[in-house]
A and B are shown apart, each in its own frame.
Chain A
Amino acid sequence: MGIITLEKTDRLFWLGRYTERVYTTARLYARSYDHMIDALEDDYKNFCKAIDIPDIYGSKEVFLEKYPFDESDMNSLASNLQRAYDNAIELRYEIGSEVLAYIQLCVYDLQKAKESDAPMLEIQSLIDHIMAFWGTADDLIASEQIRDILKTGKRVERIDLYARLAFPVTDIRREVNRMKFRIAKSHINYKESVVKNIETLVETEPMDYYGIVREIENIL
């Protein structure tokens, strides 16, 4: 593969982050969607709180319609997927058409979900296609360095989300461990001191979730 420019490095990193953000929040939304069938009118507020986004919706119905599909809402699935796509579309040379195709398919899945009276079925396809994206990325991207940058983005985002969502300590520790090895192999410029701080934070009880979020956002 040879030289990777600064801009492409940045795009690979953010492609990893946004893809992971869509994946984790789509899964959480799917779980919450089911829960909200039986729940009270304003139970959606718990979802907003959990993923740390403002409640701009006002009602369960508006939330269920807008959170996945509203492109003008910067926190929506659609906006995050668009950002993943915006990065992926500029990386055909680095990741290849086969891998890129899965991000394109996710965009179509979300469009279909928006037009469907059973949107969760299409959102399931979106989740499947993200998993296929990571599978083909592992299998087909020949450059280890590119895979490492992409996966560093994924790990960083996952730690950020898991900490915001107060995931179990063991899950966060596992992700920090994975990220630590991945980022070292990626050859990108990062702050080693931040990695050390996060390692300390995840070993301290009770876990300082917001401390982890603060540190991870500062890793590059």
Chain B
Amino acid sequence: MDFKDFELCAHTNSINELLARYGVKFGIYKNNTFHERLFPFDAIPRIIEADEFSKLEKGLKQRVKALNLFIKDIYSDKKIVKDKVVPEDFIFASSGYMAECEGIMPSKGVYSHISGIDLVQGKNKEWYILEDNLRVPSGASYPMIARQLCRKSNPKTFEKYHLEDNRDYAKILRKTLDYVNVEGHTVILTPGRYNSAYFEHSYLSEQTGAHLVTGQDLFVEGDKLYYKDYNGEKARVGAVYRRISDDYLDPMNFVADSVIGVPHLFDVYRKGNVALLNAPGNGVADDKGIYYFVPKMIRYYLDEEPILQNAPTYLPFYEEDKKYVLEHFDDLVLKDVAEAGGYGVVFGSSMTKEEKEKFIEMLKKEPRRFIAQEVIDFLDIDIMDEGKVVPRKADLRAFVLTSDEPVVWKSGLTRFSRNPDSFIVNSSQGGGFKDTWVLLH
């Protein structure tokens, strides 16, 4: 399907104006100052055919099922470690592992309710998983509102092409929240308007009908969580879709000087009196080091072959892999497992001699800290740049929402690099976004 002459593209500016009208922004800190930025939207959609999406859907469900089983296992029996499928160095040394979560079974046994799985498509048309985001993945709201505004600007386009309607995300999310709610209100817990994803928090709150709250609105009494109104009346909260990282959730259990969390929230969760989405401790499974082991998890827990492939990855932790990384340094991309948002990613080929020597020294000293990946020859996708169609690198964040069964949202956030020489697509690094169309037939 060729969209280069597509009517929708002619309306790119007006759609971006509508996005600005509705405050579709992200926050960024630069020189210690908070700035709100518009997230540039490109009207040429990424299009995924129904058959292709069906394969993606099966692979994503499989992956998220295995990841949920992995987290459950890690915080209980640790069979996968005992069976030496995953070395314990990658569990207990991971910054995402939380000893406090040992033995806790969350409501209905779900750990990763909202999973954001990043993929890229190679020039061979194969999809590769780049990263799993099982803590607080963001981004679904952008294509959801963009679709609404594109339909407004070009209704005929949507009469002509038969697509899956991605505006049902809020409905799927609400079902996911309700499924694990133990009793009471459902809330979205935000760190506040100076968080980079605040637009999304507030928009999802409006769309799902879940109250948007800050830590100050909630309190714990008698092992239960409550929400208080301006007259001091309280109402029980049964599910918290938290958009705060684990460390800041509860100052009594984690970072003591957190002012955005709720004192004793974790104690209520431990007793099974509230559901937290996603569950604390999930970071153990989306560590960039653990990523290497996900295909092994799929075989171990599900006794199935992985449907979707990882990008070819090497762990310098293993001598054999370290040797390969050092020999092929210039051909690889190296990632610091502790970093996110496009930070801590370096291409071997782009380093100076001094930088390379320094990096190799660090890698030898702390091999567990890095992974190395082959540079995938991305399939470029078209964007409009000052009226011209130009190719750019892009990824896809797919969303898998797990209640009784994992459900793959039939869309996703396509992020692209606006810089022709860059592979980094993150909004914080100047990238833009597109809608992702999944065709019905």
Contacts and interface: CB of A to CB of B under 8 A. Distances in A.
Interface of A: 2-9, 86, 89-90, 92-93, 96-97, 100-101, 104-105, 108, 187-189
Q: Give the residue among B20, B23, B205, B214 with the most A Cβ atoms within 10 A.
A: B23
A108 B20 contact: yes
Contacts of B377: none
B21 A104 contact: yes
Interface string B174-190: 00000000000100000
B217 A7 contact: yes
Contacts of A101: 21-23
Q: Give the residue among B203, B205, B211, B235 with the most A Cβ atoms within 10 A.
A: B211
A98 B327 CA distance: 57
B203 A92 contact: yes
Contact of A188 (B211, B217, B230): B230
SS class of chain B's interface: helix, strand, loop or mixed?
A: mixed
Contact of A97 (B192, B203, B213, B233): B203
Given A93-B205, A96-B206, A3 B21 contact: no
B212 interface: yes
A4 B233 CA distance: 10
Contacts of B217: 5, 7
Contacts of A6: 228-230
B17 to A, nearest CB: 9
Contact of B229 (A5, A92, A93, A108): A5
Nearest to B233: A3
27 contacts: A2-B235, A3-B185, A3-B211, A3-B229, A3-B233, A5-B213, A5-B228, A5-B229, A6-B228, A7-B216, A7-B217, A9-B230, A90-B193, A90-B202, A92-B203, A92-B206, A92-B212, A93-B205, A93-B212, A96-B206, A97-B22, A97-B23, A97-B206, A100-B22, A104-B23, A187-B231, A189-B231
Nearest to B21: A101
Given A100-B23, A101-B22, A7 B235 contact: no
Interface string B203-229: 101100001111011000000000111
A89 B206 CA distance: 12
A88 B311 CA distance: 44
Given A2-B185, A4-B230, A5-B227, A89 B193 contact: yes
Contacts of B214: 7
A2 B202 contact: no
Nearest to B217: A5
A104 B205 contact: no
A84 to B, nearest CB: 13
For the complex of A and B, the 3 pairs showing the least CB-CB separation, nearest first, are A92-B202, A6-B230, A3-B229
Nearest to B198: A89
A105 B229 contact: no
Contacts of B198: 89
A93 to B, nearest CB: 4
Given A90-B193, A92-B202, 10 more contacts: A2-B211, A3-B233, A4-B229, A5-B229, A7-B214, A92-B206, A100-B23, A101-B22, A105-B21, A189-B231
Contacts of B216: 7
A90 B193 CA distance: 7
Contacts of A92: 23, 202-203, 205-206, 212
Contacts of B227: 3, 5
B202 to A, nearest CB: 4
A104 B20 contact: yes
A187 B232 CA distance: 12
Nearest to A90: B193
Nearest to A100: B23
Nearest to A6: B230
A9 B205 CA distance: 17
A97 B19 CA distance: 11
Nearest to A108: B20
Contacts of B231: 187, 189
A59 to B, nearest CB: 31
A108 B38 CA distance: 13
Nearest to A95: B206
A92 B211 CA distance: 10
A105 B20 CA distance: 9
Contacts of A96: 206
Nearest to B211: A93
Contacts of A86: 193
Interface string B10-36: 000000000011110000000000000
A97 B18 CA distance: 12
A92 B141 CA distance: 14
Contacts of A3: 185, 211, 227-229, 233, 235
Q: Give the residue among A2, A86, A188 with the most B Cβ atoms within 10 A.
A: A2
A147 to B, nearest CB: 16
Contacts of A104: 20-23
Contacts of A93: 202, 205-206, 211-212
A100 B206 CA distance: 12
Contacts of B211: 2-3, 93
A160 to B, nearest CB: 22
Q: Give the residue among A4, A97, A188 with the most B Cβ atoms within 10 A.
A: A97
Contacts of B23: 89, 92, 97, 100-101, 104
